[in-house]
Chain A
Amino acid sequence: MHIPDGYIDLPIALAVGALAVAVLSLAAKRVNGEIPDSRAPLLGVVAAGVFAAQMLNWPIPGGTSAHFVGGAFAAILLGPHLGALCVATVVAIQALVFGDGGLVVLGANVFNMAVVEVYVGYAIYRLLAPYGEFRAAFAAGWLGITAGALSAAVQLGLSSAFEYQLVTTLAIMGVGHLALGLVEGAITAFVYRYLARARPDLRPDAVGEVTA
């Protein structure tokens, strides 16, 4: 889902990038001074885990492959604001150090994966958690990545490189990620369940972090 430079028209890239900066600034403001010293390394470990997990391209028979993005996972484990900052860190390093995703469209990639996927995923998790945390985490991962893909599809479909074929980009990316998102949902749910059982003290509500 990492958009390269040249795919999105500059005004769209700049506008979406500005929106991403505004949301991340607010996120940083919300959690500033709220993270206990003992919990600070968790942000680094989750970010590093998301980065490493994104390098695992799961081969899917039929000529495609998918990788875990981790937006909903980070949001559930860290809370949405820290989750957004965590995934933004990953996306920035991917673009600057590894050339994965363009520099001009870095803000758009951050918006899609670190803002839309994280906050939509978290909202779905909170909505469904009363009915079971496992299925809530699954739906959060599944629909969070689909929401991020749809956001990217709108930006691409409104751009000249894609000949303004918004319906095509929405259909291909929406349906594609709705299917591939099942892997995202499964990994999110199983890893979160394991961590919640093994280390319940790592849950955001266990330390009174700002979560909404």
Chain B
Amino acid sequence: MGRLPDWLPRALAALLVLTLLAPVFGWAAGQVGYAEPLENAAEATGATDHATATGAAPFSDYGVSGLGGPTGTFLSAVVGTALTLLLGAGIGRLLGADADDGR
């Protein structure tokens, strides 16, 4: 494994700031009501009732059962960001030039 790039600490700090902002934005969006065009289209055509939940996601709706909204949102943001970071970096390494050399 090579040396970590010099920009990584600042990038990780920026990610931390984004996760801290998630509960704030979640609260603010809740104040105006959350509706995307997809939901508006579903309402206009009567499709809303057709939505089904397949499987059980561990952090359903970006929350944690037993925890309050903002705390659950923050934890979900941290877990999701960390998971995506690790998976993305793993894919990057898997497709990397050095991985190819080792084959």
Contact = CB atoms under 8 A, between A and B. Distances in A.
A44 B90 contact: yes
Contacts of A33: 95-97, 99-100
Contact of B19 (A1, A2, A52, A199): A52
B71 interface: no
Interface SS, B side: helix
A1 B5 CA distance: 34
B53 to A, nearest CB: 7
Interface residues of A, number: 77
Interface SS, A side: helix
A202 B21 CA distance: 25
A58 B19 CA distance: 14
Interface in B75-89: 76-77, 79-89
Interface stretch (A15-23, A82-90, A120-128, A131-139): A82-90
A46 B42 CA distance: 32
Nearest to A156: B41
24 contacts: A3-B38, A38-B2, A38-B3, A38-B5, A39-B5, A41-B5, A41-B92, A48-B81, A48-B88, A49-B18, A50-B84, A55-B26, A57-B26, A59-B31, A82-B95, A89-B84, A89-B87, A98-B60, A99-B57, A100-B62, A161-B50, A162-B47, A163-B45, A172-B37
